[in-house]
Structure 1
Amino acid sequence: MYEARFRVEDHGPYAAVTRDSDARIELWCNDHCDLLHVAESDDNALDRVASSVGVRDELSLGDDRVVITDDCLQRHEETVEWYLERHDCLLLPPLAYENGAKHCRVLALDPANLTGVYRDLSADHEVAVAEKHELATPAREAPVLSLDGILPSLTARQRDVLRTAHRNGYYEIPRETTTAELAERFDLDRRTVEEHLRRAENKILGALVDHGVV
């Protein structure tokens, strides 16, 4: 089996919610409606979702929301599944939307099928391949899922700040950089960088505790 991760420019309503914001949407399609996890969202983001497909119910905790929509997005726009079906590929849910684009994990038995999907998508959209590799062995908890099924979704900014902090020795003892120095790298206020780090750390630690890893 072979897996690829595609970043596809998208002009649909879910991508629009994440454009120019830290919001991230994860989508599980149920044909008649969508199940969404909307992270780092606000009321305006939910209003934009509601205006497109309606909102049947929601749960919220801080900036995170779980939403059940009235309708399925597939009924309103062309979706990536249409391209996958042509080339006998599978979508590994959830489908994610971030920074105005959709991010999808695609599984194929033949790597040539992944090439075909990329070719067809590229004819209609701006596409980037984030990763492509062969799956040699199944994961212990699920056949083709890895830590993505355990670790929480971080916003692009949270990932960037956390990754940069780690690479520059922020978590070393003694620390090799400070939040003030990190703030200069991102042209952000020090308190904003510290908030990104705390949110990322809290999400990761919470997920590990919930799954009994620590």
Structure 2
Amino acid sequence: MWYLKCKYKHSDCIYAPMLEKLNLSGFFHNIGYYFKGNYVYTSAILQLSGDEKSIKKYIQYIKTHAKVAKMEVYGNVIFVLARHKKELELYSAAYNPALIHPAPAYLSKDGFEIVEVASWDRKILADLIRSLKKNKTTTYLEVLKFVSKKMDDIYVSKLLPDLPQKQDEAVRLAFRNGYYLFPRKTNLDKLAKMANVSKPTFRENLRKAEAKLMPKLISE
């Protein structure tokens, strides 16, 4: 199996540029697509993280976007059906049926999309890279990894609970800074200082978030 991980920006993206403006981040789960007429219709789940007021502004932005055909909102989670012109090479390459999505894309606060895709055919991934390079609205592209590997860590999409803002921020901060690595790259004292709260408060927020997430992540 061939595997590609890349980091990029393109200005005509529905999702990432506005996330950057509102200082939000999110995980983008591609759950399906189909071709109809001159368009490709894409179904996705976007799980947002950040300030609640900014999330509300972002949801309003999505509701009024010309490319959005339908949407449903559940707290900080948005289900979206979007419509793109099929003749745009980037979208034809990005939604090639031969692609496998082993993990959700991460949309960062600084406007980058970090995407992981795989395929049995190396050419499919090479075509995606070429399309990103040729795309007139691509402003940044970095290939982080392009290798042949065994895909033993496929992510299966499962909707996670809607965490309160402080709990969500605590668990994401811990993850980003290596708290769950072995050996750990940080500790609760450092994380609490970064979050600008006391150590007991941070510990409580983190433990509550973990208690809600674990039953969803590990099936009995």
Q: Same fold (TM over 0.5)?
A: yes
In the alignment, structure 1 residue 67 sits paired with structure 2 residue 79: yes
Distance in 2 between residues matched to 1:65 and 1:136, nearest whole Å: 31
| Structure 2: segments with no counterpart, 5+ residues | 35-40
The count of aligned residue pairs is: 191
Q: What's the Cα RMSD here? A: 4.2
- Confirm or deny: 8 A CA contact 1:34 1:73 kept in the other structure: no
Distance in 1 between residues matched to 2:80 and 2:56, nearest whole Å: 15
Please, which moves more after superposition, 4-13 or 89-98? 89-98
Distance in 2 between residues matched to 1:45 and 1:2, nearest whole Å: 35
User: Aligned to 1:97, which of 87, 93, 107?
Assistant: 107
- Confirm or deny: 8 A CA contact 1:90 1:107 kept in the other structure: yes
User: Aligned to 1:58, which of 65, 73, 92?
Assistant: 73
DSSP-derived class of the 2:16 partner: helix
- The verdict on how the C-alpha distance between 1:197 and 1:44 changes in structure 2, with shifts beyond 3 A counting, is farther
Distance in 2 between residues matched to 1:89 and 1:133, nearest whole Å: 17
- Confirm or deny: 8 A CA contact 2:4 2:146 kept in the other structure: yes
Greater strand fraction, Structure 1 or Structure 2: 2
In the alignment, structure 1 residue 118 sits paired with structure 2 residue 119: no
- Confirm or deny: 8 A CA contact 1:14 1:25 kept in the other structure: no
- The verdict on how the C-alpha distance between 1:152 and 1:104 changes in structure 2, with shifts beyond 3 A counting, is farther
| Structure 1: segments with no counterpart, 5+ residues | 140-144, 171-177
The alpha-carbon deviation at position 118 of structure 1 amounts to 2.1
Q: What CA deviation, in whole Å up to 9, does each residue of 1:73-123 have, x standing for no partner?
A: 42499574423578x851417455333133322222243543443233223
- Confirm or deny: 8 A CA contact 1:89 1:114 kept in the other structure: no
User: Aligned to 1:189, which of 176, 179, 196?
Assistant: 196
Task: Spell out the pairing of 1:136-175 with structure 2 (5 A cutoff).
Answer: 136=150, 139=152, 146-147=154-155, 149=157, 159=172, 161-162=174-175, 163-166=177-180, 167-170=184-187
Distance in 1 between residues matched to 2:88 and 2:204, nearest whole Å: 37
Q: What CA deviation, in whole Å up to 9, does each residue of 1:114-146 have, x standing for no partner?
A: 344323322332212233443426x5xxxxx62
The alpha-carbon deviation at position 47 of structure 1 amounts to 0.7
Letter in 1 for 2:19: T
Distance in 1 between residues matched to 2:93 and 2:72, nearest whole Å: 30
Greater helix fraction, Structure 1 or Structure 2: 1
Task: Report the counterpart of residue 49 of structure 1 in structure 2.
Answer: 62
Distance in 2 between residues matched to 1:79 and 1:102, nearest whole Å: 18
Task: Report the counterpart of residue 134 of structure 1 in structure 2.
Answer: 148
Task: Report the counterpart of residue 3 of structure 2 in structure 1.
Answer: 3
The alpha-carbon deviation at position 66 of structure 1 amounts to 3.4
The alpha-carbon deviation at position 45 of structure 1 amounts to 0.8
DSSP-derived class of the 1:19 partner: helix
Letter in 1 for 2:129: Y
Q: What CA deviation, in whole Å up to 9, does each residue of 1:141-185 have, x standing for no partner?
A: xxxx62464696998995454334453452xxxxxxx43x3466x
The alpha-carbon deviation at position 19 of structure 1 amounts to 0.7
Identity over aligned pairs, percent: 11
